[in-house]
Amino acid sequence: MENVLHVVAARPNFMKVAPLWRALERRRVPQRLVHTGQHHGEAMSGIFFRELGLPEPDVHLGVGSGTHAEAVAKVMVPLERELERNRPGLVSVVGDVHGTLAAALVAARAGVLLAHVEAGLRSFDRSMPEELNRVLVDRMADLLLVPSPDAEENLLVEGAARSRIHMVGNVMVDALRAHLPAARALGIPEALGLPPGGYAVATLHRPSNVDDPVVLEGLLSALVDLSRKLPVVFPLHPRTAARLGEARQEALRREAPGLRLVPPQGYLPFLSLAASARLVLTDSGGLQEETTALGIPCLTLRENTERPVTVTVGTNVLVGTEPEAIREEAERVLRGEGKRGRVPDLWDGRAAERVADVYARLLGGEAQRARG
């Protein structure tokens, strides 16, 4: 049987590939793993591989970060050489980071079957680099593995052949369900003196939120106000830490002791924190999904989302970036009036099994290229 080549670049990719890797292992499908290195170092990469049970990458491109053009170009050149040396039967990409687009371009140009896990998600905001990546990858992909009905509808409206689309559910939820017991066993909230349901978790990393000083300070003011009512644990993404600077971080620690600035967390420690939180405030797409799966109110600090099912079905509320709107919605949650949702269909911990079934059938010779 021909092998599957997984290309991963950033932390969300690792969580999505881990359950798929295990599902394909059970089917004895040969696999290789390429890490582009967009997220690198121990805090942002190494610990995630160990926690998720992923093997060391077969190839580490070590490209680091950069502009959109730099990131894509730095991945394409060595990845093209890798495909020439070890041509796979299928290239599998996940999500919407620059490495995903680069891998899709290389696979399509090489004529290798291309599968996109988490296809069809749309924010309809073309100012977001991730939105352009999603649209372009979906246009090139032979197999479109979608997590929700809205994603399928987006693809059909854009003209994708129904034969290319496979409704599989959410592989991020697979990882969450598999690792939640181990995460809870860490007891991170208890170690920090935080009672279950008695604190909030906040994350910020998107350029539109952290690169604009006015927007960033407005968001911080809302978090500081909330931290006077209950502790707010705030793991600092490297980008956010750099924008704040050491002096501003120290000032926040002095002025708002309830706002606990902590380093980036590994997957299991962060899941341990999020799983027992009263509410989560974030600009992360993946965390919108995880909070919906956990049944925890989520306030998304953005004007749009590529995961609308977390709003229409789940626990997510789009509050934007205006501090007053954030304060008001947070107060609703604290009064017990926060949004209650349910877990979307097929977010059952078996999405990776469904993806693996599709891959195994194709690589086993039961079907030809799926492009329609």
Active site residues: 205
Report residue 146: phi and psi, to 5°.
-105, 150
Distance of alpha carbon 339 from the chain centroid: 22
Report residue 149: phi and psi, to 5°.
-60, -35
Q: From CA 21, how far away is CA 31, in angstroms rounded?
A: 8
CB 283 within 8 A of CB 203: yes
- CB burial of 91-116 (b: ≥16 within 10 Å; e: otherwise) equals bbbbbbbbbbbbbbbbbbeeebbbbb
Return contacts of 212-218, CB within 8 angstroms, 24+ apart. Answer: 213/243, 215/321, 216/240, 216/243, 216/244, 218/321, 218/322, 218/323
3-state helix, strand, coil in the chain (%, to 5): 50, 15, 35
